[in-house]
Structure 1
Amino acid sequence: MAQWRVPEFEEVRELGQGAQGRVVLARHKVRGTPVAIKYLTAGAAPEARDRFRDEARMLGRVDDPNVARLYRLVEHGDDLAIVMEAVDGVPFKEILRRHAPLEPEAALTVLKGSLLGLAAAHAAGVVHRDYKPANVIVPADGRSRLIDFGIAVVAGGASAEGTPLYMAPEQWRGEPATPATDVYAATCVFYEALTGRRPYGNGDRASIRAGHLGEAVPAEDVAEPLRPLIARGMAKDPADRPVSASAFVGHLDEVAGGAYGPDWESRGMRVLAGAAVALAALFPLAAAGLVPA
């Protein structure tokens, strides 16, 4: 039996597939506008359907240039789809895989863009809970964009889900998720960008859990001017982290300007843009011959 599709769009190519469903690149049949459409797996359980609707609601609360935009949630009988902005760029995961460790200015630029996107989510009362390199897209201009609010929750909600490599101690303990939870994950990725390594290794779940819960924050592994950012952002107690992503941006700007000069961000953006363009074959819109409307 043919799978349902949002009728006014034609599918161009599949971008990814997982347990929850599949994401495709599509274009509007009349206007030609490119979009990304996430389809929930057919026959999904009621709990999965509720979570899918929650994802759309969470994404719909956030309106910021550092976050991929929601266009609409589509329901057709038992079928559900989320139509959202198609960001033409490369996952930060791919940049790290090929180029890490990055120059400090580039790592700082990604952290700042991510914190600005997270701050917009936090201002809307949303905690992402799954910040990781695969959920950050870097376009050709070097400005990072945050995607995938699939397990986002209202601030104060349960936090026992996430990607183990970047989960905050409170997530491992099943405590409420707060903006500080996202700050922790973003700082873990910042550490990875600077060193080429995950903060607590790539071992099994138990060893990773033990690292996040009990091992010292590895601030000494990075350049001295950046150690306070790692120490604060990855503090074990959420109360010892910056009170918000926006507050952390202010501290980051101060540290980066003092260590790398007033033009640090423009230099970092050029490095990221170069790394992204070198991987232009992975840009979904460019590969499909589409241009954003």
Structure 2
Amino acid sequence: MPKLPVSIGKYKITGRLGKGGMSILYLAEHPSLGTTVVLKKLTLKGDSAHRERFRREATLMMKLRHENVVGVYDHFKEGGSHYLVMEFVDGRPLSELMAREGALPEVEARWLAGRIAKALAHIHSRGIVHRDLKPSNVLLGRDGGVKLGDFGIAFTPGGDDDITSEGTALGTPTFMAPEQLEDARGADERSDMWSFGVCLFEMLTGRKFVTGPSPAAVREALPAAVKTMSYRLPPKLPRREHRLLRKTLRMKSETRLKDGKAALRLIGASGHRDTPPESLQIRLNKLLLSMEGVSEPTPKAEIIPDKNRPDEYDSGGLSSLQSLFKSSFSSSPRFRKEVVSKKGTAEQKKAKKVKTFRIPTGMAAILIAFLAVLLVSSVIPGVWSAVFRRNSYGVFKLKLVYPVEAPEHWLTAASADIYGEGEDSLSKIVSPSLRISANNSFLSSRRITLPEGAYRIRWSLGDRVSWYSFRLLSFSALEKSGNGMMVLEETLEDPPAFPLELSWTAVDAADNRSIDGQVKMSWKRVDTPEGELISGGTYSFLFEASGYLPSSFDIEVSPWRRNLNLHASLWPQPGELIIRNDSGRLIMPRLNGSGIYYDMKEAPGTDRIGRLESGSFRVLSLLPGDYLLTPGLGKSGLKSFSLKSGDTVTAVVESDEEKQFIVRVRHSD
């Protein structure tokens, strides 16, 4: 482990909290106040985009002062590294509590949701969108406080300070709203409300709302996750929580709750209560003890016999049941207890009387079987019904067979809905998820347990819909018939090949100006060389124009897709500016009055020009255009020049006898 620095800036370092992909967290002591603070150090050197996000995080958070938002006191730069000075929260992230406890009781989840909603209401009222709300960014303090932190990718909608590129999905995919998965710049307060709903769902269920190996896979799975949400919630969940989830987890952002203030109103009075539920504080204390390596205190057990109660079992009633459990759990060698009467003579106190009983064999077997059924039913669906509701419930599975050569993205269009048959209508019951088999030859559902009766299945297979009616027999009836579990099978045939109608537009990424007439678009089929432009294929599209950097798309097209529209943003081919300092002095060059420029060397983003020692030079990759160069903070040596795509301009900074700057500009041939 690297050696801990003694101090950073004016702060004395007392410990190291952890390290992430982009930063290191240090525990430090404030020099004048003597309080504990956290220093966050940016570790990605040379990445201008992350430096800019780090700077913006400091700027945004220093504007926020709220009991449910982590405070930021200062930010500074030392030795080429950037630092944030933040409030120290003595506690653990909500994600660790959820990982330890699983699903939280409804009263605890509602209180936590109220704290998070208050934090969101505050930042939304300041025009800030968090964009990365998740349990690991919610800190639970030892004192019962709840604070929202990590504003590294937060931004102000409609402002000009967002450096996110178009089409970039920033955040944690499984917590991101549909519009944020497509383009992080399209996120607003309603996107935070989606993330809020996902957090609440996971607190109430202990399960992920949606999963996927990539942002694109998560986006494809969202409609099914929303559709099946109500079936995955606890059965006796209050209507208020149902309503809150329905109003936050909606695919169309315009139909969601507007902001954190709206969520707080919907949560009600419990969201405004300052003190946490006692049970939640106990859970948090246990978590903190476990993280500190301290065992939870175990009270010493001492059994004192009642003189008025016989040692033998009564003939029945509550007393016999209490006696049975008392003797059972103190009888076997593992649970044997020494029973000492605290009353009586000195001889009785000296004589330690040990009583042992044995659990009746029948009761032990019943207890073990009951616990086994509970354990297995939590893992395998339908076990409870198979044991205790055999005459009224049945079980079945769905199976969808597809062509062996079918690529995985074909299968995303397949889904199934189960309906119950009523006297005059159908009622939708469940939309089971379908999983790919180990041999990659079919999709199947888990075991589905429903009451005995008449049902229908609606298969959606791309542009084809298939209905299947069946009668579900009970477990006992199925056993009498000698047949195994019912498997309802459907076949996904090879889809027809539709001609793919392609349309596209192209703009200049610097000023959003249309350049359709200058752009040449070409494509090739990746999965089948020299293949046609039809549905069901995998394609690579390339956009090229003179004076611009190329832009490309790699797209898997659904078999049932007939239209495809592409929008390409092309960056102008950059030019180079070489600034050489021959002035004999330190200079601080500025372009168009600013020390920050738009760097086009690799991924477009802002960077600082910085100081330039005498005898050194710096090469800047710039967008074409007109520029005004000044060597220092004053107007001495002011020089204007034009830069074209692919050109190189050399600016030599010199100094005259009066120590005034002179700039000589030379264009390359």
Which of 230, 237, 251 is the equivalent residue of 2:245? 230
1:188-237, CA deviations, whole angstroms, 9 ceiling, x for partnerless residues? 01100100001113x41243222235643413432251211111111111
- Counterpart CA distance in 2 for 1:68 and 1:266 is 17
Max Rg structure = 2
Q: Confirm or deny: 8 A CA contact 1:107 1:268 kept in the other structure.
A: no
Which of 247, 250, 260 is the equivalent residue of 2:265? 250
Work out whether 1:179 is the aligned partner of 2:189. Answer: yes
- Partner of 2:230 in structure 1? 219
Work out whether 1:191 is the aligned partner of 2:201. Answer: yes
Which amino acid is the alignment partner of residue 196 of structure 2?
Answer: A
Work out whether 1:170 is the aligned partner of 2:186. Answer: no
Deviation at 1:4, TM superposition (A): 9.7
- Counterpart CA distance in 1 for 2:7 and 2:49 is 22
- Partner of 1:208 in structure 2? 218
Q: Confirm or deny: 8 A CA contact 1:168 1:212 kept in the other structure.
A: no
Task: Name the structure with the higher strand share.
Answer: 2
Q: Normalising by structure 2, what TM-score? A: 0.39
Q: Identify if the C-alpha distance between structure 1 residues 267 and 29 changes in structure 2 by more than 3 Å, giving closer, same or farther.
A: closer
Give the % identical residues: 29
Which amino acid is the alignment partner of residue 192 of structure 2?
Answer: D
Equivalenced residues, count: 276
Q: What is the DSSP-based 3-state SS (H/G/I as helix, E as strand, rest coil) of the residue aligned with 1:246?
A: helix
Q: What is the DSSP-based 3-state SS (H/G/I as helix, E as strand, rest coil) of the residue aligned with 2:191?
A: helix
Q: Identify if the C-alpha distance between structure 1 residues 268 and 76 changes in structure 2 by more than 3 Å, giving closer, same or farther.
A: closer
Which of 286, 309, 323 is the equivalent residue of 1:278? 286
Q: Normalising by structure 1, what TM-score? A: 0.85
Deviation at 1:273, TM superposition (A): 1.5
More moved, 19-28 vs 264-273: 264-273
Q: Confirm or deny: 8 A CA contact 2:73 2:85 kept in the other structure.
A: yes
- Counterpart CA distance in 2 for 1:238 and 1:283 is 39
Deviation at 1:44, TM superposition (A): 3.4
Q: What is the DSSP-based 3-state SS (H/G/I as helix, E as strand, rest coil) of the residue aligned with 1:90?
A: strand
Q: Confirm or deny: 8 A CA contact 1:107 1:194 kept in the other structure.
A: yes
Q: Identify if the C-alpha distance between structure 1 residues 275 and 75 changes in structure 2 by more than 3 Å, giving closer, same or farther.
A: same
Deviation at 1:57, TM superposition (A): 0.8
- Partner of 2:81 in structure 1? 79
More moved, 51-60 vs 152-161: 152-161
1:62-211 matches, cutoff 5 A: 62-76=64-78, 78-156=80-158, 160-174=169-183, 176-201=186-211, 203-205=212-214, 206-211=216-221
Unaligned runs of 5+ in 2: 293-669
Which amino acid is the alignment partner of residue 206 of structure 2?
Answer: G
- Counterpart CA distance in 2 for 1:180 and 1:123 is 13
- Counterpart CA distance in 2 for 1:77 and 1:228 is 52
Work out whether 1:7 is the aligned partner of 2:9. Answer: yes
Which of 33, 36, 47 is the equivalent residue of 1:34? 36
- Counterpart CA distance in 1 for 2:65 and 2:230 is 33
More moved, 37-46 vs 210-219: 210-219
The two structures, once aligned, show a CA RMSD in angstroms of 2.6
Q: What is the DSSP-based 3-state SS (H/G/I as helix, E as strand, rest coil) of the residue aligned with 1:153?
A: coil
Q: Confirm or deny: 8 A CA contact 1:139 1:273 kept in the other structure.
A: no
- Counterpart CA distance in 2 for 1:180 and 1:66 is 19
- Partner of 2:431 in structure 1? none
Q: Identify if the C-alpha distance between structure 1 residues 282 and 148 changes in structure 2 by more than 3 Å, giving closer, same or farther.
A: farther
1:23-62 matches, cutoff 5 A: 23-29=25-31, 31-41=33-43, 43-62=45-64
Which amino acid is the alignment partner of residue 23 of structure 1?
Answer: L
Which amino acid is the alignment partner of residue 110 of structure 2?
Answer: L
Q: What is the DSSP-based 3-state SS (H/G/I as helix, E as strand, rest coil) of the residue aligned with 2:66?
A: coil
- Counterpart CA distance in 1 for 2:290 and 2:68 is 20
- Counterpart CA distance in 1 for 2:87 and 2:275 is 27
Q: Identify if the C-alpha distance between structure 1 residues 99 and 130 changes in structure 2 by more than 3 Å, giving closer, same or farther.
A: same
Task: Name the structure with the higher helix share.
Answer: 1
